Amino acid sequence: MDPVHLKEEHRLLQDQLRRFVAEEIVPHGERWEEEEMVPRALLRRMGELGYFGLRVPEAYGGSGMDALATVIFAEELARSTFGGVTITATVHTDMASPHLFNAGTEEQIRRWAPGLLSGETIGCIAVTEAEAGSDVQNIRTSARRDGNGWVLDGGKMFITNAVHGDVYFVAARTDPDQKASRGSSMFIVPKAAKGVEVVRKLDKMGWRSSDTAQLAFDSVKLPADALLGEENRGFYAIMKNFQTERLSAAGIYIGEMDTAIRLTLDYVKTRRAFGGTLWDQQAVRQRLAMLAAQAEAARQLVYHTAWLDSQGVDCVKEVSMAKAWCGELVNQTVYACQQFHGGSGYMRGTPIERMARDVRIHTIGGGATEVMLEEVAKRMEP
């Protein structure tokens, strides 16, 4: 069912990405899983094709597209079945880089945009801490003034792209007398800055080809222009970009659901059992039919929400619904699809086994389901 909101430019993007995934990701993804990294050559290729600037204004070298492009980009990458590649790219494009284009000065954008758009510079967003995940107001990393510049101290946890990335967009407390919502700021921190340390690379259950790490900042001296946006307004910058982050996440989920169902259809229509194929079993057919219906409903919700965002409509409730519902549904869908693969679906090296590990994070990362439901509940009318 083709979403009615798509324009020709969106359909062209879909087609281009589908070919890119089939030719440049799928044949190599298994090796990248084993190497536990996404090669920079692939990221530069994505930059060369314009995928890292889909929503960046044309004045800065981007395509100036809308939120539907965010969803399409995430959805098509997710069809690869390699979640580590998908999250490496989408953290860069939809979770980290937007902070520069949303709040950066002309000078900051001119300095950092070329590398971020080309894939020469890979970014990550450093907000989460050991005791501050969904509870953003509990961050403890601090930045204090030092002459014309700043000194950054503290640490971050579960930061994707931290090992192989180049620049961190860091949230830090800049007014200790205020709660974080009124006393936090965002900073551009080069990985090469003295005092920045990748403490350890974290060993994850899924997303094996993406890198995630713990960071430490030990008296990192930053220039005045490292401050991104208004001082003490960092919390609002984070909240603003959550809509883009969560739409991107929902796009990943619908791509994974569709692919899991397709893989399972291919399997059950050829796997013979009980005198026929598994597809001949009514229970299997009907369960897959229901999964397909639920996945299509989810896709329409996500695309419509992206369209609302592109129209400038306040859609925090709808974005939160999409993140919560699709994050739960992709887990249910992949679980059921793995069940129909039987023992083969439990073997390492099969797409459905890899997806089963990768999707588990979706109800946790980027805003836990429970947090998303609270955002919805706050906006429900009596």
Q: Is the pLDDT of residue 1 over 70?
A: no
In this prediction, residue 135 carries a pLDDT of 76
**Number of neighbours of residue 342 by Cβ within 10 angstroms:** 13
Are 345 and 352 within 8 A, CB to CB? yes
Looking at domain 8-122, its CATH architecture is Orthogonal Bundle (1.10)
pLDDT of 274: 87
Catalytic residues: 245
- Is the Cβ–Cβ distance between 294 and 260 less than 8 Å? no
What is the chain's Cα-based Rg?
21
- What integer best gives the mean pLDDT of the chain? 96
For the domain spanning 236-378, the CATH number is 1.20.140.10
pLDDT above 70 covers a percentage of the chain that reads: 99
In words, the CATH class of domain 124-230 is: mainly beta
**Which residue, 181, 129, 182, is CA-closest to 153?**
129
Per-residue model confidence (pLDDT) at position 136: 81
CB 124 within 8 A of CB 165: yes
Average pLDDT of 10-27? 98
Q: Are 68 and 6 in contact (CB under 8 A)?
A: yes
| pLDDT band (50, 70, 90) for residue 32 | very high
C-alpha to C-alpha distance for 30 and 32, rounded to whole angstroms: 5
Tell me if the pTM is above 0.85: yes
DSSP 29-90: HHHHHHHTS--HHHHHHHHHTTGGGTTS-GGGTS----HHHHHHHHHHHHTTS-HHHHHHHH
Per-residue pLDDT tens over the stretch 45-72: 999 999 999 999 999 999 999 999 999 9
Please report how the helices 369-378 and 316-340 are oriented relative to each other, as an axis angle in degrees rounded to 10: 140
Q: Are 367 and 316 in contact (CB under 8 A)?
A: no
Give the 3-state secondary structure of residue 123: strand
What are the extents of the domains in the chain?
Answer: 8-122, 124-230, 236-378
pLDDT digits (tens, 9 = 90+) for 312-326: 999 999 999 999 999
Residue 134 has pLDDT above 80, yes or no: no
Reported as a single tens digit per residue, the pLDDT across 238-296 is: 999 999 999 999 999 999 999 999 999 999 999 998 889 999 999 999 999 999 999 99
pLDDT tens digits along 149-179 = 999 999 999 999 999 999 999 999 999 999 8
Show the beta-strand stretches assigned E in the chain.
123-126, 142-146, 149-160, 167-173, 184-190, 196-201, 212-222, 227-228, 272-273, 276-277
* Of 197, 137, 132, nearest in space to 158 by CA: 132
pLDDT in tens, 334-359: 999 999 999 999 999 899 999 999 99
pLDDT for 291: 98
